[in-house]
A and B are shown apart, each in its own frame.
Chain A
Amino acid sequence: MNDVSVLIGGKAGEGINSAGAIVAQLLNHLGYRIYIYFDYPSLIRGGHNFAIIRGSERDIGTCRNPVDFVLALNEETIERHKEKHSQNTVIIANKDLVKNAAYGIPVKAILAEEKAPVIMGNSALIGGFARVAGIEWEVVDAVFRRHLPKGADQNLAVAKRAFDLFDPVRPIKKGGNLPQSLVSGNEAIGLGLIRGGLDAYISYPMTPSSGILHFLAELKERFGISVVHPENEIAVILMALGFAYAGKKSAVGTSGGGFCLMTEGLSFAGMAEIPLVLVVSQRTGPSTGLPTFTGQADLQFVLHAGQGEFPRMIVAPGDAQEALFWSERAMDIAWECQCPVFILADKTLSEGTYSIDPAAARPLSGPGAFLWNGSVPYRRYEKAESGISPLAFPGTTDAVVKVNSYMHDEAGITTEDAESSNQMTEKRLKKWETLIEMAQHPPCVTQSGIPGASTALLCWGSVKGVCDEAAAELGIRVVRPIVLAPFPVDPIKQALRGVTRLIVVEENATAQLAALAERHGIIAHEKILRYDGRPFTVDDLVARVKEAGI
């Protein structure tokens, strides 16, 4: 199995992210599937940033230790990550700043010779890396021209000088795949929402969800959508509800802290039966926590947020491909069921970059929103067997559309009548049944690893990648619900058939999925938890599973 990891590190503001993207494209063009993990502190300039770019012949969504190559823009990059090195790790560094690197590049001199700006220094490191890794110059040339078209000639000239300094001492084998599209989880969510018919994305910046806001704001003309950044998250969700009331498909995005402010609006969406997609991308909490690090500690919060009882769906994609698929599906479900649907992500997924297949199957489109047929009088909350009443929007002839945060009657007018309260509560809760049905197609629980194994890992969200690899190595099974509400208890039990030992893997301190599963009679024997804000790596998880006992 061909597998290669490259760590690139330096100070914030030195272009680690864009250099990492070029390294990833080099591996993509060598026939590898890609995962990039980006690690950075909460500051704008200075501090230590690093990215790990991993290529593998199969789909991946996690990192492994040790790394094969280190591209060091400074000494700290080498010192800080010693635990990720092996005897075979090759260090390629800026000779001006790093002493004793095996492959030192005189960046300053090269830039002077090419009269190139400082920012092109990273191209020298990439050129040096390409040569040491045995990547043909034609590939380097093609990738730079395709992905760094502005100033490609000069960047290539800088890269070539470094390329020519070395020999192909640690050649990477060619992989067997055609290049795929490299997108971040946040971009995949944005594209999925667009496919779902998004008209308006409304968000207040908050790491790690901001990438969706930036991505959609940049492309709003191309997609013909509104992108609004209001005064706070309370305004965000209320504006989104205003859009939906007027018939426009809206979505909001935030992280835990911002979602706290949205809970009154969420409960309103539940009561008033207004369709809404909410992206909540988790970071390490509680409170401000570790703003730029990951976590899975908001499952129970999202599951229970908002006063009162109302149906909701929670979808937790495991990688960018699933994020693309389920974000489209989430919009459909929200409008078919007229209820809030969550896309629960985390920093690992949101800001990680993955290979996705642009031609992958899309969700089958459902019947669409149930619209009013014009029979007068229009009643927004008309009784319905399924609990789903016909939608009409203001501006429609002869439809008086009344939505209401109070308990209301069929026309949407406030009522305190006991019988009506019962009926309306039951009408809303009926939608759970429709949601359960919708969660079955496509399959809401995945099984991977070794299907017949009697030991299984139970996990959710972005730990998919690491669990799949660890399980393959250990010869065990992985069962992962993608839909977490309504909890797909039967499909999970089916996927767990024959399992005698169940180990939960989560990136939180209290095993929130385990608690949810236990409530439904699925008992985990062991819990492997990580909550330092860093994602599990394969070697880390393999050791922890062995320690727990297979």
Chain B
Amino acid sequence: MTRPLITSAQNTWCPGCGNFALQHTLKNLLSDREKEGKSLDDVVLVSGIGCHAKIADYLNINSFYSLHGRAIPAATGIKLANPALTVICCVGDGDAYAEGLDHLIFAAKRNIDITVIVHNNRVYGLTTGQYTPTSPLGFKGKSTPSGTAEYPLNPVELMLASGAGFIARGYTRKMDLLKGLIREGIAHRGFAFIDVLQICATFFPATDYYDSHVYELPATGSGNFEAACALAREWDYNSDARIALGTFFTRVSPSFEERMIPVPVRKEERERAIQVLLEART
């Protein structure tokens, strides 16, 4: 059954918000999936809390609208519970890099087969304009009116260090590339991470900067870790440099759910095992 891919929920993103491009991209990917004869019943979208997360209301697919920072552990539980599901995790930069950083690192370390898409606008939008872990040094937000006193994280480098098997960066104004990256991420067997640069039309309108600095990497991802590290350091989310878009690193290894999946035991078998155990304790 084909279904309308967008719900009737009223869209409340600001005009010009980068989230529209991401929603459109995901919608197109879902539509492609249906055309390929795959059911959308097996897709689950897990979101955190923030502007990005409204996508859970807008896309007409299974969704788990989680807590701030807590999309990834929920997505991990869902995938472990039913490995046949395709689990896509939409998270914000505050969500994934601040409140829930531990979960992001552990998901990469475990190689759980979920696709994490970070809507990285480098500012807290929904809480009306504070700095995030990827805001540049000196960023003036409502909680840092005289500018931040800390350097941003480099999430690409962080994910390399954490053992992620698919690491990419996209940009909402390069939609064809973005669609390709997310498609690859979903197809990747294991943990996939895509940092998506997007502007916040209200609090961080960096369109001109990104447009003039981004360039595309060769289409095929590299399995060369050292080269990926060097490439990741080209732009540190702070200084003025070229910004690579594309796949930084890919490596396929056994996924967490493959290693963890239990062999089911029937109810009667379980009860027999309990009786055996209790008998052994007499």
Partner-B contacts on A (CB < 8 A): 28, 179-183, 191, 194-195, 197, 199-200, 202, 219-226, 228, 230-232, 234-236, 238-243, 245-248, 250, 264-265, 268, 356, 358, 393-406, 408, 411-414
Select from chain B the residue with minimum beta-carbon distance to A398.
B1
Chain A residues, Cβ within 8 Å of B79:
242
Residue pair A246, B85 in contact (C-beta under 8 Å): yes
Residue pair A394, B42 in contact (C-beta under 8 Å): yes
Contact of A400 among B60, B81, B82, B261 (CB under 8 A): B60
Residue pair A182, B281 in contact (C-beta under 8 Å): yes
CA distance A242 to B77 in the complex (A): 4
Chain B contacts with A in 259-274, Cβ cutoff 8 A: 260-265, 267, 269-271, 273-274
Known A-B contacts A183-B281, A235-B103, A402-B56; the reply to A243 vs B64 at CB < 8 A is no
Instruction: Give the distance to chain A from B104, nearest Cβ to Cβ, in Å.
Output: 10
B208 on the A face (CB < 8 A): no
The stretch of B30-38, B68-76, B133-141 that contacts the partner chain: B68-76
Contact of A247 among B63, B66, B74, B82 (CB under 8 A): B82
CA distance A367 to B85 in the complex (A): 28
Residue pair A235, B106 in contact (C-beta under 8 Å): yes
Chain A residues, Cβ within 8 Å of B67:
238, 264-265, 268, 405
Contact of B73 among A181, A242, A400 (CB under 8 A): A242
Known A-B contacts A182-B281, A268-B67, A394-B78; the reply to A401 vs B274 at CB < 8 A is no
B102 on the A face (CB < 8 A): yes
Instruction: Give the distance to chain A from B86, nearest Cβ to Cβ, in Å.
Output: 10
CA distance A196 to B51 in the complex (A): 39
B9 on the A face (CB < 8 A): yes
Give 27 CB contacts A-B under 8 Å. Answer: A179-B282, A194-B270, A197-B267, A200-B77, A221-B263, A222-B265, A223-B270, A224-B265, A225-B262, A228-B260, A232-B102, A241-B74, A241-B77, A242-B76, A242-B79, A245-B81, A246-B85, A358-B279, A393-B82, A394-B43, A394-B82, A395-B42, A396-B41, A398-B1, A399-B62, A405-B49, A413-B57
Residue pair B81, A199 in contact (C-beta under 8 Å): yes
Residue pair A223, B265 in contact (C-beta under 8 Å): yes
Chain A residues, Cβ within 8 Å of B274:
191, 194-195
Chain A residues, Cβ within 8 Å of B270:
194-195, 223-224
Residue pair A246, B78 in contact (C-beta under 8 Å): yes
Residue pair B278, A181 in contact (C-beta under 8 Å): yes
Q: A242-B76, A358-B275, A412-B63 are in contact. List 5 more A-B contacts (CB 8 A).
A: A224-B269, A226-B262, A234-B70, A239-B74, A358-B279
Residue pair A405, B65 in contact (C-beta under 8 Å): yes
Give 5 closest A-B pairs by Cβ, nearest first: A242-B77, A224-B265, A246-B81, A239-B77, A238-B73
Chain B residues, Cβ within 8 Å of A239:
73-74, 76-77, 80
Select from chain A the residue with minimum beta-carbon distance to B60.
A400
CA distance A248 to B79 in the complex (A): 11
Chain B residues, Cβ within 8 Å of A247:
81-82
Contact of A395 among B3, B41, B269 (CB under 8 A): B41
CA distance A239 to B106 in the complex (A): 13
Instruction: Give the distance to chain A from B115, nearest Cβ to Cβ, in Å.
Output: 15
Instruction: Give the distance to chain B from A126, nearest Cβ to Cβ, in Å.
Output: 18
Partner-A contacts on B (CB < 8 A): 1, 3, 7, 9, 39, 41-44, 46, 49, 54, 56-57, 60-67, 70, 73-82, 84-85, 102-103, 105-106, 260-265, 267, 269-271, 273-275, 277-279, 281-282
Chain A residues, Cβ within 8 Å of B65:
402-406, 408, 412, 414
Residue pair A224, B262 in contact (C-beta under 8 Å): yes
Instruction: Give the distance to chain B from A172, nearest Cβ to Cβ, in Å.
Output: 19
CA distance A515 to B156 in the complex (A): 53
Residue pair B278, A246 in contact (C-beta under 8 Å): no
CA distance A248 to B78 in the complex (A): 9
Select from chain A the residue with minimum beta-carbon distance to B275.
A358
Instruction: Give the distance to chain B from A214, nearest Cβ to Cβ, in Å.
Output: 14
Instruction: Give the distance to chain A from B76, nearest Cβ to Cβ, in Å.
Output: 6
CA distance A245 to B76 in the complex (A): 12
Select from chain B the residue with minimum beta-carbon distance to A202.
B77
Chain A residues, Cβ within 8 Å of B78:
242-243, 245-246, 394
CA distance A181 to B280 in the complex (A): 8
Instruction: Give the distance to chain B from A465, nearest Cβ to Cβ, in Å.
Output: 19
Chain A residues, Cβ within 8 Å of B261:
226
Residue pair B262, A222 in contact (C-beta under 8 Å): no
Residue pair A401, B62 in contact (C-beta under 8 Å): yes
Residue pair A181, B102 in contact (C-beta under 8 Å): no
Instruction: Give the distance to chain B from A387, nearest Cβ to Cβ, in Å.
Output: 20
Residue pair B279, A181 in contact (C-beta under 8 Å): yes
CA distance A197 to B270 in the complex (A): 9
Residue pair A230, B73 in contact (C-beta under 8 Å): yes
Residue pair B77, A240 in contact (C-beta under 8 Å): yes
Chain A residues, Cβ within 8 Å of B84:
395
Select from chain A the residue with minimum beta-carbon distance to B99.
A234
Select from chain B the residue with minimum beta-carbon distance to A408.
B65
CA distance A498 to B63 in the complex (A): 55
Question: B63, B73, B77, B279 — which one has the most chain A CB atoms within 10 A of its CB?
Answer: B77
Residue pair B80, A228 in contact (C-beta under 8 Å): yes
Chain A residues, Cβ within 8 Å of B64:
242, 245, 403
Known A-B contacts A28-B282, A231-B103, A264-B67; the reply to A397 vs B77 at CB < 8 A is no
CA distance A247 to B62 in the complex (A): 13
CA distance A195 to B278 in the complex (A): 13
Select from chain B the residue with minimum beta-carbon distance to A250.
B77
Residue pair A242, B75 in contact (C-beta under 8 Å): yes
Residue pair B44, A394 in contact (C-beta under 8 Å): yes
CA distance A397 to B39 in the complex (A): 8
Contact of A248 among B41, B81, B102, B267 (CB under 8 A): B81
CA distance A412 to B58 in the complex (A): 11
CA distance A406 to B54 in the complex (A): 11
CA distance A356 to B274 in the complex (A): 13
CA distance A179 to B280 in the complex (A): 11
Chain B residues, Cβ within 8 Å of A246:
44, 77-78, 81-82, 85
Chain B residues, Cβ within 8 Å of A28:
282
Select from chain B the residue with minimum beta-carbon distance to A239.
B77
Question: B9, B41, B260, B267 — which one has the most chain A CB atoms within 10 A of its CB?
Answer: B41
Select from chain B the residue with minimum beta-carbon distance to A397.
B41
